[in-house]
A and B are shown apart, each in its own frame.
Chain A
Amino acid sequence: EDQVTQSPEALRLQEGESSSLNCSYTVSGLRGLFWYRQDPGKGPEFLFTLYSAGEEKEKERLKATLTKKESFLHITAPKPEDSATYLCAVQAANSWGKLQFGAGTQVVVTP
């Protein structure tokens, strides 16, 4: 059965303190791995799509990488506005497009 596990569950960072979030997955053929950011009371906001091992994507202070078994979301020199829950989701090659989500990592960045 396809599975997505995110770690840690929660992360508290000082402003400027870089860190990484992990998303481990098992899926019968990966079509894509997606990272989303979610603020309280809002829907998930799309950040990145990764398709194949070795691929990297960057946006401002965020960088996502992908291997055959896991993905990392690196947050470089975070600011308080980076505080959010970060969600990882996989799309299996044999699916019609549905996403399978991990439980998320709640990130709090303090000044």
Chain B
Amino acid sequence: EAGVTQFPSHSVIEKGQTVTLRCDPISGHDNLYWYRRVMGKEIKFLLHFVKESKQDESGMPNNRFLAERTGGTYSTLKVQPAELEDSGVYFCASSQSGGHQPQHFGDGTRLSIL
């Protein structure tokens, strides 16, 4: 079974540019989550999709971040325009439906804003 796949693994862009991160969850997982870790901090929740619907977006930092999950399969996270404080590692996780299902993580996208 393929795990959670994230692309790209690294991205370096200049302040003010746009970047789009992609996440392919484990096949059949309805729940998809985005998290990020900024330097020296713990991993923080951004948002949660159930299929194509946003269930919880309480962790999104501001309106420069836009997440989509068209068709309930892969998801994208767009940052526009990128700011210096957006640098960090962005993780995607997925889980099956039903309570207490563990979340399985991808290896993350390391985003550097110059």
A residues apposed to B, CB below 8 Å: 4, 31-32, 34, 36, 41-46, 49, 51, 87, 89, 95-104
Contacts and interface: CB of A to CB of B under 8 A. Distances in A.
Nearest to B4: A43
Interface string B101-114: 01111111000000
Given A46-B104, A101-B44, 19 more contacts: A34-B103, A36-B105, A43-B105, A43-B106, A46-B102, A46-B103, A49-B102, A87-B43, A96-B48, A96-B55, A97-B55, A98-B45, A98-B48, A99-B33, A99-B45, A99-B103, A101-B42, A102-B42, A104-B42
Interface in B14-47: 31, 33, 35, 41-45
A41 B56 contact: no
Give the interface size class of chain B: 20 to 34
Given A31-B100, A51-B100, A97 B107 contact: no
Contacts of A51: 100
Contacts of A41: 107
A97 B41 CA distance: 21
Contacts of B31: 97
Contact of A97 (B42, B91, B95): B95
Contacts of A36: 105
B59 interface: yes
Contacts of B61: none
26 contacts: A4-B42, A31-B100, A36-B105, A42-B108, A43-B93, A43-B106, A44-B91, A45-B105, A46-B102, A46-B103, A46-B105, A49-B100, A51-B100, A87-B43, A96-B55, A97-B56, A97-B95, A98-B33, A98-B48, A99-B35, A99-B103, A100-B45, A101-B35, A101-B44, A103-B42, A104-B42
A49 B17 CA distance: 40
A101 B43 contact: yes
